[in-house]
Amino acid sequence: MTTTLRPAQPLQRNSDGTRSRVYEVRVNSRRVGSVELATRSAAQPRTGVIGALWIDEPDRRRGRATVAALAAEEVLRSWGCTGIAVSVPADAGPALRMAETLGYQVTGRVQVKELPELPPALPPGAASRPMTGPEYDAWQERAVVEYSRHLAGPGVTAEQALAASRGEHAELLPAGRDTPGTAFFVLHAPDGTPLGTLWVGERDLPGVGPVPYVWDVEVAAEHRGRGHGRTLMLLAEHAALAAGARLLGLHVHEDNTPARRLYTSLGYRDSTVNARKELI
């Protein structure tokens, strides 16, 4: 039997240059599932995305998904992609094992925490305030540059990564620090010295729904190693609880070991695992 992909719709070409298409997964002429393929963004046209890969129950555990994923790689390669990104639910063991077998490497994790009924106690002397306009402008430039470093890689130049970072920030913050549903805080010492910053907004997480989300947390370099990162995360819980939420989400890069240890100690659990594979 031969497993192939057959287009289920015309190729969708968007105004920003991205493209997408849904395919049927077929064994000979029989439909056994579906998969959606796309390019990530206009600034990252050479990064493909495999999403919503589904095999019908009667045809599972026969290698159909693996062959379909390999066929999807060939389609994305024909689109000029040099790398592929996937997001897999953390509790989808078979899918995670398949991704590892196919050579995908974990790049990061989306995590969530069930919040307590009452706000957690903050360390003695901990104080915060809303971020000012000038502070926001300085923070935004640093954040755009920092995030671009995570986007750069094989097939993505530094210039493309910077453009992608600026585009994503503009989309998430159309009104800057005044964007509805968004809050920016500065953690400071008793004498007013800034110690770190926090950006809390909202994100719709697969399988979870819309939740408050820690988009960015940063401790000033000269004040690291003193527990301020934990304090900022506790402030995020205060902000989420004040909004009436019972869950708080975040993303952590796989190579950021200190942050992963911190979030684990605070009770966060994996919701989605992100992985990437370079096409040869």
Q: Domain span at residue 61? A: 3-81
Partnered with residue 84 across adjacent β-strands are 48, 277
Residue 71: the pLDDT is: 96
- Tell whether 88 is covered by a domain: no
DSSP 177: G
Residue 155: the pLDDT is: 66
Residue 43: the pLDDT is: 72
Same domain, 48 and 165: no
Residue 41: the pLDDT is: 79
Same domain, 159 and 262: yes
From CA 240, how far away is CA 217, in angstroms rounded? 15
DSSP 17: S
- 172 membership: H or E segment, kind and range: helix 158-172
Q: Over 80: is that where the pLDDT of 156 sits?
A: no
- Tell whether 279 is covered by a domain: no
Partnered with residue 186 across adjacent β-strands are 129, 197
Same domain, 119 and 76: no
Residue 207: the pLDDT is: 86
Same domain, 122 and 260: yes
Radius of gyration of the chain (CA): 21
Same domain, 124 and 256: yes
Half-sphere exposure of 90 (CA within 13 A, CB side): 15
Same domain, 45 and 146: no
What pTM did the predictor assign? Answer: 0.90
Classify residue 242 as exposed, middle or buried by CB count within 10 Å of its CB (0-12, 13-18, 19+).
exposed
Same domain, 129 and 232: yes
- For the ranges 21-25, 28-32, 38-42, 82-86, which has the lowest average pLDDT? 38-42
Residue 40: the pLDDT is: 84
What percent of the chain has pLDDT above 90? Answer: 85
With tokens 């003695």, the residue in question is 124
With tokens 């920092």, the residue in question is 146
Where is the domain boundary, 31, 62, 81? 81
Span 18-42, average pLDDT: 93
Q: Over 80: is that where the pLDDT of 1 sits?
A: no
